[in-house]
Amino acid sequence: MKKRIKFLIWIYLWLVGSMAIASGKNPKDIPLFGMFEVQVINNTSYENPFMDVELNSVFTSPTGKKVKFFGFYDGDGQGGQKGNIWRQRFMPNEEGTWTYVISFSDDSLILKGEFNCVKENAKPGPWLPYSENPHWFTTANGEHFLPVAMHADCVYSPIDWMDAIQWCKTRGYNTLITSTMNTWAWPEGQENITAFSTRSVSDKEVDYEHFNLRMWQQWDEMIETAGENSMYIGPFNGPTGFYGGRRSKYPPVELAYYPANRNGWETPQNKKIIRYLIARQGAYWNIAFWNLGSTEMYHFHSVTSAIRYGQFFASISPFERMITAQDCEQWHNADRRWLSKMNFPSSRKLNTIQTGVGEIGNPDKHAFIDDSTWQQAYPNYELAIDSYSGFPVITTEGLWEGQGRAKKPSRIIWGLFMAGAHTMWADWSYEDPDNHDFGSIGRGWVPLRSPDKHLFQADQLGVNCIGDEQLLIATNAIQSMQYWKMNPHSELVSGSSEAYCLAEPGVQYMVYIPNGGIIKLNLEQAPGLFEFKWLDPFTGDYSKSTEIGGEKNLSFSLENGLERVLILQKK
């Protein structure tokens, strides 16, 4: 009798309390790596729909693989806090018919269905390490991909990310690195722009158990707009659990409220925000990678806790998207090899580093940010070599032009490329340059402005900068070669001056010489004819090509102080 009553109650709830419809983003045919989305209406009353119930799903691929995922509560579906709408998103990676089962954890709804995944209009999909040479990337659809990336704090207002995306599109950049949620700062004079809903506007309190749906919807729009412009978003943050609480100088304390600190990621409430981020943003093809927490994983009680966090994150996030944290401190502290120690495949790992600050021959010595050591190629090359553990390396903190360390951007760019690593550019400024206070990525905080005005404008980014142009010159040069076949081979260069080599021995070579001098290139493995030319890394101009062949060692002399790149390709 009890079973019959329970069954009738379930039928009643299903008929009068819940229903599911396909949204406008859910056509019958979904492109490969596109987004399938179902909007689910559940009229059951919950005290807190963010915490009280979960929307779970199992998707079955055309080849029978089962993928567990989950959905999220979306209020009224228009950014409003109250409503009866949940959403389930998914990114299919196999062509053919997919089936799915979606259910609430309290049994208030079970929904079944299917959709077709087709190759037509296929999306590139997230970044992956190139399996044959994991210094480099491919997209999920298998195409070689070289990030041309910039960083700007444009998470707080649609005006800002519209400017940043327009700047990237105009300049030829394919990646915007920025926050995909804001958990730590609430600027003066603005409405609540954190990921969490407001508990008290007058006292600027946030409620960590309810999420700010207006902001989450805006971040969806940022990711979607970038995708429509064939551009990736690289998250610069992640839900470590320590939301707010850090009295940072970015922006100045007097200009922003910082919510109170929270416990570590292990708490049930904090696991909810991790899950919510993945559910909401995980099915977008152009989220390049996941970030475990502002690239630097300082926000943990212990190394063990950090490792467990990364493994938990990997275990609940599908689609094999790469996960990043700084796996090596910029002055080579071996205890920071947390990402390497995490128990998930290297194919899902991406090391994001800062610039090198160690002295030549003494990389453990820390230098001040304006020290000339930061501005040399060697510390950056050496750090990238040291940081490579079988998965790609990119510096997301370093080529921030305006800081002392980026006064000579070409040396950072080429030092990293010669190590088989990548970099990104940012326009950085200080309100107080003498004391290095109130720094601003993308000129976002100087001065602080209201959300209806531009923090920066597209025509302001890169003004009085050279690194943005030099990065394009370098990436264009790298892309003119089959760079994915090349590895660091600086053992092939010698002489009286500093030089670095990236090569596929016997086939193609790039040699970066930052200071001129006499350089020798070992060509013992390189029989036959080669095309030889020089690149000016400041102008992008090439010298006239010449042919060489038969030499066991190529020797050349450059004027002292002359910075050039040698390009040698087999004919």
pLDDT band at 5 (very low <50, low <70, confident <90, very high): very low
pLDDT at 359 over 70: no
What was the pLDDT predicted at 142? 95
Whether 166 is covered by a domain: the verdict is yes
Which CATH number characterizes residue 503's domain? 2.60.40
pLDDT band at 2 (very low <50, low <70, confident <90, very high): very low
Whether 343 is covered by a domain: the verdict is yes
pLDDT band at 20 (very low <50, low <70, confident <90, very high): very low
d(CA 433, CA 231): 33
Mean pLDDT across 363-387 = 77
The residue assigned the tokens 């309290």 is 106
Same domain, 382 and 529: no
Whether 159 is covered by a domain: the verdict is yes
Quick one: what percent of the chain has pLDDT higher than 90?
A: 60
Residue 355 structural domain:
147-480
Same domain, 225 and 106: no
pLDDT band at 364 (very low <50, low <70, confident <90, very high): low
Same domain, 476 and 493: no
Same domain, 311 and 410: yes
Whether 311 is covered by a domain: the verdict is yes
Mean pLDDT across 399-409 = 86
pLDDT at 357 over 90: no
pLDDT band at 123 (very low <50, low <70, confident <90, very high): very high
Same domain, 507 and 550: yes
Same domain, 102 and 183: no
Alpha carbon distances (Å) from 310 to 269, 302, 306: 17, 13, 6
Same domain, 560 and 432: no
pLDDT at 10 over 60: no
Question: 486 is written with which tokens?
Answer: 């090349």
Whether 449 is covered by a domain: the verdict is yes
Whether 129 is covered by a domain: the verdict is no
Q: How far is CA 219 from the centre of its chain?
A: 15
pLDDT of 211-224, one tens digit each?
999 999 999 999 99
What was the pLDDT predicted at 16? 38
pTM, entire model: 0.92
What was the pLDDT predicted at 331? 54
Do residues 90 and 101 lie in contact, with contact meaning Cβ atoms separated by under 8 Å? no
Same domain, 446 and 494: no
Considering 429, 463, 480, which residue would you say is the last residue of a domain?
480
Same domain, 566 and 424: no
What was the pLDDT predicted at 369? 66
Do residues 397 and 355 lie in contact, with contact meaning Cβ atoms separated by under 8 Å? yes
What was the pLDDT predicted at 386? 87
What was the pLDDT predicted at 203? 77
Which CATH number characterizes residue 60's domain? 2.60.40.10
What was the pLDDT predicted at 158? 85
What would the DSSP string read from start to end of 276-320? HHHHHHTT-TTB--EESSSSS--SSS-HHHHHHHHHHHHHH--TT
d(CA 16, CA 7): 14
d(CA 274, CA 285): 19
446 exposure class (CB count in 10 Å sphere: 0-12, 13-18, 19+): buried
Considering 450, 480, 510, which residue would you say is the last residue of a domain?
480
Same domain, 265 and 409: yes
Same domain, 97 and 242: no
DSSP annotation of 465: -
The residue assigned the tokens 């689609």 is 319
Same domain, 250 and 322: yes
Region of poorest pLDDT, from 6-10, 112-116, 202-206, 391-395:
6-10
Q: How many domains does the chain have?
A: 3
Q: 213-228 and 268-281 are packed helices; what angle lies between their axes, rounded to 10 degrees?
A: 30
